[in-house]
Structures are given as structure tokens and as C-alpha cells.
């Protein structure tokens, strides 16, 4: 009997040790970060920059609206391009993000909170997607050198009428020639136009080949970037047609 009690105690002790070791093993597995850990790519990715032939182009105009996709933790992805929605697949190999949508397979380069595709949907457009909610969503991070040169506040330094006597430093309707035309280019690719002291509106803008296009029909504005860093702006509306020579404000 005494021997049986000793044997039973040994078995109970052995069982307890096995149980403790098993629990430690389970805790160790949970702490490795592999079980139940959220995939670093999981979540929404939003197109923040598009370039064609080295020039920035509008994402809305290129794709007919916003372009985004949502990575799920099962190898699947949902996407929306303008009014079009659909599903696809994704995987990661050798620091490359492989995205398959609508039968098209695209390979993106992974950066810090960004994924860059050199030939999105075989359209010849380089598109950079930023992870939603991160600092990479800031559009100013993706401005070209030409675009950065335009960013800021500009004011007219002189004005010239279509059939006038050359550049003038005064203009009817304003006390200061600077107030004849002011342009405030923002990093979100919108520009506020102020004409004769009155705000006309805020319009999208883009830069290509030394010209800055402002998407406004009335007034119409054609902007040429001069070699000396100034702007030549042709302004026309229902009543006026002027050419302004604009300089960036001293605060810039």
C-alpha cells in the first residue's frame, strides 16, 4: 500500500509537470506573433499619385474616379475604380506585391506604407498607393520638381492688354497691380484664383512640359513657366483678355 501511494504521487507529479510544460509551450506559440497577428498589408490602399511619361496626371481623369483596393487576410482583395468594383487576389514574393484583378496581374514594389506599380492595368501609368490612415497619404510627398516649383502664392507684377502698349504696372479696377491677379497653388493640386481682388474659385491644376494647366473654362487661364522661374498667365473671361507676368510672393 505504501508503495502504491508513492507511485501515485510520482504519477501525479509527472502529470503536473507535463501539464505545465504544455502550457508554457502554448504561451510561447502565442507570443511569437504568428498566431492571430494582423497581416501588415491588410486594409485599404488608396491611389495618391499617377505619372505617365514622367509627368503627373490626374487619378480621377485617368481612371474615371478614385482608385483603391482593400487587402484581406485570406489572399483576396476587393477594389474600386471610379464606379467600377470587383474582386481579385494578392500575394507577396521577394518584397513584391502581386495584385491580380480582372484577369490582369500587376507587380508592385513595396515601400514604407506605399506600393508602387509601374504599369497599372497595362495603361502605361505609374501609380502609387498609400495605406489609408498613414503619413504616406500626404499628396505633397509625390510632387515632381516642376510641381514643387509652382507651389505657393503668386501675384501679378505687370499686365499687358491684347492690343496694348506693352507691359504696364497699373490696371484699372485695382490700386495695387499685385491685386490684379493672385494665384495660390496648393500641394493637393488645387489653385485658388483671385482676380481684381475677388476670389473667382478653386480649380485643379497640373504641370507638364513647362506649362501649368488650370482646369477652368470661364475664366480661361493658360500658364507658362518661364526660365527665370516667373509665370506668364493668359487670363480671359467674357469681358477681359490680359496677359500677366506673375512672381512668387516674398514669403515663399
Q: Which ranges of 32-175 does DSSP label H, i.e. alpha helix?
A: 59-63, 145-150
Q: Which domains does the chain have, with CATH numbers?
A: 43-142 (2.40.128.280), 145-248 (2.40.128)
Cell of 99: 495584385
Q: Check residue 242 and give its pLDDT.
A: 96
Scan for cell 497691380, then name that residue: 177
pLDDT digits (tens, 9 = 90+) for 44-103: 999 999 988 878 888 888 898 999 999 998 899 999 999 999 999 999 999 899 999 988
Quote the mean pLDDT of the chain: 85
User: Distance between CA 83 and CA 144 in Å, rounded?
Assistant: 29
List, for the chain, all residue ranges whose pLDDT scores fall below the cut of 50. 2, 5-7, 9-11, 13-35
Q: In terms of residues, how long is the chain?
A: 252
Amino acid at each position: 500500500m505504501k508503495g502504491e501511494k508513492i507511485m501515485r504521487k510520482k504519477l501525479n507529479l509527472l502529470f503536473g509537470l507535463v501539464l505545465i510544460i504544455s502550457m508554457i509551450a502554448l504561451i510561447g506559440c502565442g507570443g511569437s506573433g504568428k498566431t492571430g497577428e494582423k497581416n501588415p498589408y491588410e486594409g485599404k490602399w488608396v491611389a495618391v499619385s499617377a505619372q505617365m511619361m514622367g509627368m503627373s496626371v490626374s487619378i480621377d481623369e485617368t481612371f474615371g474616379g478614385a482608385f483603391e483596393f482593400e487587402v484581406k487576410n485570406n489572399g483576396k482583395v476587393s477594389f474600386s475604380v471610379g464606379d467600377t468594383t470587383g474582386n481579385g487576389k494578392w500575394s507577396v514574393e521577394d518584397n513584391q506585391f502581386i495584385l491580380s484583378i480582372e484577369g490582369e496581374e500587376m507587380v508592385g514594389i513595396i515601400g514604407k506604407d506605399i506600393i508602387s506599380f509601374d504599369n497599372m492595368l497595362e495603361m502605361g501609368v505609374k501609380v502609387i498607393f498609400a495605406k489609408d490612415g498613414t503619413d504616406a497619404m500626404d499628396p505633397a510627398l509625390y510632387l515632381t520638381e516642376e510641381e514643387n516649383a509652382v507651389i505657393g502664392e503668386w501675384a501679378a507684377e505687370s499686365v499687358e492688354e491684347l492690343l496694348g502698349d506693352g507691359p504696364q504696372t497699373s490696371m484699372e479696377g485695382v490700386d495695387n497691380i499685385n491685386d490684379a491677379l493672385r494665384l495660390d497653388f496648393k500641394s493637393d493640386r488645387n489653385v485658388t484664383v483671385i482676380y481684381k481682388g475677388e476670389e473667382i474659385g478653386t480649380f485643379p491644376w497640373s504641370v507638364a512640359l513647362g506649362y501649368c494647366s488650370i482646369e477652368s473654362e470661364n475664366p480661361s487661364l493658360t500658364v507658362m513657366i518661364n526660365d527665370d522661374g516667373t509665370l506668364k498667365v493668359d487670363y480671359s473671361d467674357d469681358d477681359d483678355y490680359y496677359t500677366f507676368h506673375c512672381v512668387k510672393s516674398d514669403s515663399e
